[in-house]
Chains A and B, each alone.
Chain A
Amino acid sequence: MCLAVPGRVLDIEERDGTRMANVDFGGVVKEVCLEYLPDLQVGEYAIVHVGFALQRLDEESAKQTLELFATLGMLQEEFGDPWEMAAEAGGTLPPEGEGARL
């Protein structure tokens, strides 16, 4: 959760009066709120933390960071199944009906 990951804006739309985007994190696409970077445009990169774009990042830095995170397995830590990871850490089976219910 502490991690903030660079991502590239794929498209932008208003939803419930809020500026939202689909953002690509090295292959994983997530919905991201742009209210804190309202002038961010499609194709630009930003540092995203828990679904919010917090600061613009240049393309080269963003790509280098994503490459590094992928190598270190940190993208899996950030976007993998949290129940499975918690179960693994605890050495137990995940509770029934697992997987994020969203």
Chain B
Amino acid sequence: MTAPPANLTPTPPIPKVGGWDNFQRKYAPYIFISPFFLLFFVFGLFPIIFNAYLSVHEWQPGSGLGDMKFVGLRNFTDNLTDPTFWLSLKNTAILAVESGLPQHLIAIPLAFAINMGLKRAQSFITAIYFLPYITSVVAISVIFFTLFSWQYGVLNAALGSLHNIPVLGALFPADKINWLGERAFVQPSIAMVIVWRYVGWNMLLYLSGLQAIPGDLYEAAAVDGATRTEQFRFITLPLLRPTIFLAVTLSLIGGFQLFEEPYILTNGGGGVGQAGLTTIMYMFRTYNAYSDAGLAAAMAWLLFIVIGLLTLVNNRIFGRSGMSDSKAAK
């Protein structure tokens, strides 16, 4: 209570012993934060610089470091004239949209329904939707691999029996879909798994965003005679904007770094017609199978530029201050 605001500046009382006591107090914070910064310099910053250095060199990881040969921007131009690189970028973009958009279109109404509908079962329901997120991609992809099976898969069996329902049946395909075996379906299949995995995560973000909106706003609007749609349109959406910005940014950054799901669902190979080959997968292949570290490093930078540009665009659309405003609940 009596603590003066001056509390914030260095150490107030006890000059007592001086010497070691002061010394350790002065340097303690630096020592305490140093592990993070040391690790960051060694395993974070240094690799980035090394990556930049690599990207302008030709080098096979198998040979010694002395074999590095400066090639200027050739790795970049090689990538930019490589049709497979463009294909992988196109695949990544399509997958990011096909998996990103539905996530939000499903997650927002779900969060809305949970926030409005059930107060008591809320944490239980949230936990169920969240479950896929905490499970390993390998486990999930292996399970879906069997569910997607062409002749005997659960998914096709379910669609088949839905097709046999009298009137509504027409909505469902008559023939079995060769999910992972036909070019047109590889990307939608991968996208379905990603949607399944991340809907709960996004729902949670939106839920905390919704709960940060004060209830009195709705009450006041209701008193003024606003309909439910109007309330959603003029209260919920504008106040949810920072959360939308955050969630979209996260799925954008995540979407353009897709690796694990397509890698496992296409058995590491990229699938029919390489439709499931993402840029990170291609980069990994360039390094691992083709042993071309410089080319892979340049590819990483190109992807980094793409992600950066998209983040900027997203920033323009959904507005800045997102990050700080979205402090959201809890």
Is B truly associated with A?
no
Interface residues of A (CB under 8 A from B): none
Interface residues of B (CB under 8 A from A): none
